Chain A
């Protein structure tokens, strides 16, 4: 029997970026919030031994323990889904701060086009431009409507950057100036300009200078230490929930954090109201019920979907007829369209860098280029990054070099600081048969079904990746590389190869309750006091990293929760849209 605890105003499931932002915003408003997090608590001082590639980058020291819970995967419905037994394609956050602790800090706003992808594509190119099985949707929110929340999030995190010449309007300049430009970044900049493109320094959550945010939190500048993505920042320079929003929540006295506590169910009354959550203290094995007026589900894409399905909330997506919404429109990131340039007599400080350090162009992103004669829609950014090339993972050799032995050793050492990569970060469209549901066979350590992922690359992705790869090659040739290896064909999606932790969809937002699960405040259409926050809300993914947009949506959801507690009811009137599948 679960021990029933006293009721709280709001309970948050998972304390990463989304959970952290919501905790700080609600507690500032005087609401009592309980944050339940399956992993342990953390503090910056714990990162003293951080510069350890083996422990954190290779062995995933900060990530979810897959022995207890993983994802099953198949490329299509005809295949048997099997568990992701080891890490590969994406890495899952665990512990207070979530993946926000070990992210890079590449921090973007999506393009205005992204939010109205379906209607703008049809408007410009006609219905026929969208293949029949492509289930892309508008977000139910426009760029201008989300802009103030981007602004709020960026000020909290202290995002460093300069204007994107091809991006949406900004109500305010970046809180801090752009990161430093390295020699090779300048090389990219000159080459891009020569090609008539519009380079700009990547917006970054690694602070370019000391910064104090509107909550009064002060942090120091990034040291370009090169141990950033997959690592925690021992300086607190990288914006993460532990050094930004969580101290603010704690300071109010209204926040109670419960680490090592695993939520197994969202409880509800059967009449469209959530009543709280059921969780297990992982240290003692004790089970608790935490009643609450508001339940906020912020446990990342996979568990956001899984907990809804396990708790029997919302309508399960049915890929056969496109009805239902929970699990619908899983999308990813098309990151393989890229080129690698080898320089015979130039060396760069590739061992140094920061997670968010880079320079890019958006000339081939969104609808910034004409697609009339192209057989795909959208595109992606093209970026040259300098994140710190650590030696175990980075052994670049030109194609044709053996993969072991003296020749390999010689080439990998020669090119280790003489290889520059330019890569496409392609947008990922939603398709009818790409979705998440409960696996019929494999279970987690509680005996509950794992989430099952059905996903593959489509013709759209192959075309897009190839197109971006060719653009990458042009830039590298202009940069003076002696030898360029370019991706030729996009292979099927392989869950064993790291690509990005940019999983999206499953609990998507929209204007129509028939085709979406949550409204533009991320309030569930079917359950008014349940907010599902994260990249799970993206109807499809853009040609950028997701977290800037997750942050903006979290601020908007927090505003919606406060509004709901005052006035009750649905925050948005649902409307029937023509775009239903």
Chain B
């Protein structure tokens, strides 16, 4: 690695730390803006939600990627809470919220992956055998819309609260019911919806940060995954070697 590369890496790293600090994300706050946050912070029972962080508007390092392309604010809040249970913050490092995974999912749903642009979507539709893969008529936008509403409805029915307001244990119980396919949704099975949500969560944790998740490459750091490197010739025959991760923007901007 050239000294130049090293320098730019350090610069990225320090701006990353600044970003985490300024946005209040490192402390685990919900990442919605002040005005909207108070608007959305009220759940069905009129109880305030977890406090939203107030991000200074003139912050030069603010992340303009943290806005919604597809989700409604309610869908975002459910996704943010659910993915945090799938990939929680722990001793290894940040969880879904801090990694901005719900933003990642939102952005993906808005594009071709959400609409199934490169999938075969012509009919006729038949349920099919388990060995025949996905045979539904719904695309992922529709599956998430139905599934997230299902989570909210199930939480209301069972706990008389919205999903984001449940305790971690209650949220896990709800998600387990979905994962096990025990909840009836109109269209997809709950287990199919859950498996989509789980897969998208892992993508959001580990995809290149250019997609909006894996904030600050913190997902990669936990896993000791070096991201984009031009060569491993020097270490391929060596014992395990830790390498500071690098994202694709290092390639694009150099």
Contact = CB atoms under 8 A, between A and B. Distances in A.
Interface of A: 48-49, 51-54, 58-60, 65-67, 70, 73-75, 79-80, 82-86, 88, 180-183, 223-226, 347-349, 351-353, 390-392, 395, 403-406, 409-410, 413, 416-417, 441-443, 492-496
Contacts of A54: 203, 207-208, 211
A88 B131 CA distance: 11
B131 A225 contact: no
10 contacts: A52-B248, A85-B133, A182-B236, A225-B231, A226-B229, A349-B236, A349-B240, A405-B86, A409-B95, A442-B120
B47 interface: no
A73 B175 CA distance: 32
B242 to A, nearest CB: 9
B135 A51 contact: no
Instruction: Give the interface size class of chain B.
Output: 35 or more
Contacts of B240: 347-349, 417
B132 A74 contact: yes
B233 A224 contact: yes
A176 to B, nearest CB: 15
A391 B206 contact: yes
A226 B131 contact: no
Contacts of A66: 118-120
Contacts of A65: 118
Interface in B210-254: 210-211, 219-220, 222-233, 235-241, 243, 248, 251-252
B172 A79 contact: no
A178 to B, nearest CB: 13
B128 A82 contact: yes
A417 B224 contact: yes
B248 A51 contact: yes
B238 A403 contact: no
A392 B207 contact: yes
B60 interface: no
Interface string B92-133: 100100000000000000000100111111101010111111
B244 to A, nearest CB: 12
A82 B239 contact: no
A413 B223 contact: yes
A436 to B, nearest CB: 16
8 tightest A-B CB contacts, nearest first: A496-B133, A352-B232, A347-B240, A391-B206, A223-B231, A51-B228, A54-B207, A224-B232
Given A82-B135, A405-B85, A496-B131, A181 B120 contact: no
Interface of B: 85-88, 90-92, 95, 113, 116-122, 124, 126, 128-135, 172, 175, 179, 198, 201-203, 205-208, 210-211, 219-220, 222-233, 235-241, 243, 248, 251-252
A226 B220 CA distance: 15
A contact face: mostly helix, strand, loop, or mixed: loop
Interface hub of B206, B208, B227, B241 (most chain A Cβ within 10 A): B206
Contacts of B226: 351
B223 A85 contact: no
Contacts of A49: 248, 251-252
B133 A86 contact: yes
A79 B131 CA distance: 11
Nearest to B93: A413
Contacts of A75: 129, 131
Contacts of B233: 223-224
B30 to A, nearest CB: 20
A351 B227 CA distance: 9
B92 A496 contact: no
Contacts of B248: 49, 51-52
B111 to A, nearest CB: 10
A82 B121 contact: no
Contacts of A80: 126, 128
B78 to A, nearest CB: 16
B167 to A, nearest CB: 14
B122 A351 contact: no
A359 to B, nearest CB: 13
B236 A405 contact: no
Contacts of A182: 236-237
A85 B119 contact: yes
B235 A84 contact: no
A148 to B, nearest CB: 34
Contacts of A496: 131-134
A224 B238 CA distance: 13
A181 B118 contact: no
A180 B232 CA distance: 11
A534 to B, nearest CB: 23
Given A58-B203, A351-B224, A67 B238 contact: no
B216 to A, nearest CB: 15
Contact of B92 (A349, A410, A494): A410
A224 B236 contact: yes
Contact of B220 (A82, A391, A494): A391
Contacts of A409: 87-88, 90, 92, 95
B241 A349 contact: yes
